[in-house]
Amino acid sequence: MKTDICKKLGIEYPIFAFTHCRDVVVAVSKAGGIGVLGAVGYSPEQLKEELDWIDEHIGEYPYGVDTVIPQKYEGMDEKDPEQLLESLQKMIPDGHREFVEELLSDNGVPKAPETNGPKGGLLGWTEATAEPQIDEALKHPNVKLIANALGTPPADMIKKIQDKGVLIGALCGKIKQAVAHKEAGLDFIIAQGGEGGGHTGEIGSIVLWPQIIDAVDGLPVLAAGGIGSGRQMAAAMSTGAQGVWCGSLWLAVEEAAAQPAEKDSYLNATSEDTIRSKAWTGKPARMLKNKWTEAWENPENPDPLPMPLQGMITFDAMRRTSMYAGSGSTQEVSFNAAGQVIGQVKQIESVKDVIYRMINEYLDSVERLNSLLPKE
């Protein structure tokens, strides 16, 4: 099932694995797909460490990096990271920080020591903070693909990436975003339906995929949102996608660095246990429902702030709930981003087993379709 984009990237299977975990990146690329590391939560120094580690372990296989530059965010005219941070910090009401602290302490989440993470909790979701990530990524020769979530990347970044011979694509959940991506000269599009995890729109995958494939006429489209098996992969490829972009599938694999309590949250979730909420980043993202999402969805409590402000006040919560995942009722206030397909993740498997199972299921699906064709 090698599609054109597989040939360009030199990969065996059209399986694109979005993950926050370097071990998963390596395992996916080695199994014939391509691992893509989500960079948004790393400072440039941390990102360098992660990519150096991947370089040491991945051999000759290619991999990718995922950044998050939104189309719109508070302070978007400011390109200097320090200035931006200063002006953003003034925009955060005290009550919001107190509300976060209360939620954490009510659920027994311990305080955590400082790390060399992003300053002031301002993650890579601004142009000012994402550009250093892209500059770092481009120093690593096996990085063959960069994907941007939430918007069309700025023209100079696109040029910088393509000049290095690296493919640049971006996610979208609406036709008009896909068309904007194409007009900006991107190399591929990731069409993510509303059932997907993380930042996501409202149009269902089965409706969105073929519409975007037609709208960008000829540009490779990867299907995202709701793909957790080879049957779903075959469905995506039937609509004309050149590959599948999966995230939830890797949350509880053997190689994922997540703590057991976090993996348990994913393994125990059904497809009905997710919610699309602004509770963590200020833009709608799909995640497991818990007391944290309930609290922010409750109209009597503070409203989530616009991006990137909400992320700045939730960054400490993310860090602490991730560090002490198994402590007290931490899982009740953790950020467990996941798509509806999480309901299909029922056991811990190795990345290789997941990929081989997908390929086998895919081949069975195609065989089944063939068996239904009228006999000539």
* Residues within the interface to a second copy (CB under 8 A): 1-3, 174-175, 193-195, 202-208, 210-211, 225-229, 231-232, 234-240, 270-272, 339-341, 343-344, 363, 365-366, 368-370, 372-374
- The secondary element (H helix, E strand) that includes residue 50 is helix 44-58
3-state SS, residue 351: helix
Query: Least distance to a second copy from the beta carbon of 69, Å?
Result: 23
Q: Are 36 and 17 in contact (CB under 8 A)?
A: yes
Query: Least distance to a second copy from the beta carbon of 245, Å?
Result: 13
Q: Please compute, for residue 165, the number of CA atoms within 13 A of its CA located in the half-sphere on the CB side.
A: 8
Cis omega (within 30 of 0) on the bond before 44? Answer: no
Nearer to a second copy, 97 or 231 (CB): 231
Angle at 104 between CA 102 and CA 109, to 5 degrees: 140
DSSP secondary structure letter of residue 375? P
Question: At residue 73, what is the residue type?
Answer: Y
Nearer to a second copy, 1 or 348 (CB): 1
Nearer to a second copy, 141 or 240 (CB): 240
Query: Least distance to a second copy from the beta carbon of 73, Å?
Result: 22
Q: How many CB atoms lie within 10 A of CB 207?
A: 12
Nearer to a second copy, 134 or 251 (CB): 251
Partner residues linked to 19 by β-bridges: 37
Nearer to a second copy, 208 or 333 (CB): 208
Q: Please compute, for residue 33, the number of CA atoms within 13 A of its CA located in the half-sphere on the CB side.
A: 29
Query: Least distance to a second copy from the beta carbon of 72, Å?
Result: 17
Angle at 355 between CA 11 and CA 21, to 5 degrees: 85
Query: Least distance to a second copy from the beta carbon of 244, Å?
Result: 11
Q: How many CB atoms lie within 10 A of CB 149?
A: 23
Nearer to a second copy, 210 or 284 (CB): 210
Query: Least distance to a second copy from the beta carbon of 250, Å?
Result: 17
Query: Least distance to a second copy from the beta carbon of 365, Å?
Result: 5
Chain-centroid distance of CA 176 in Å reads 21
Nearer to a second copy, 47 or 223 (CB): 223
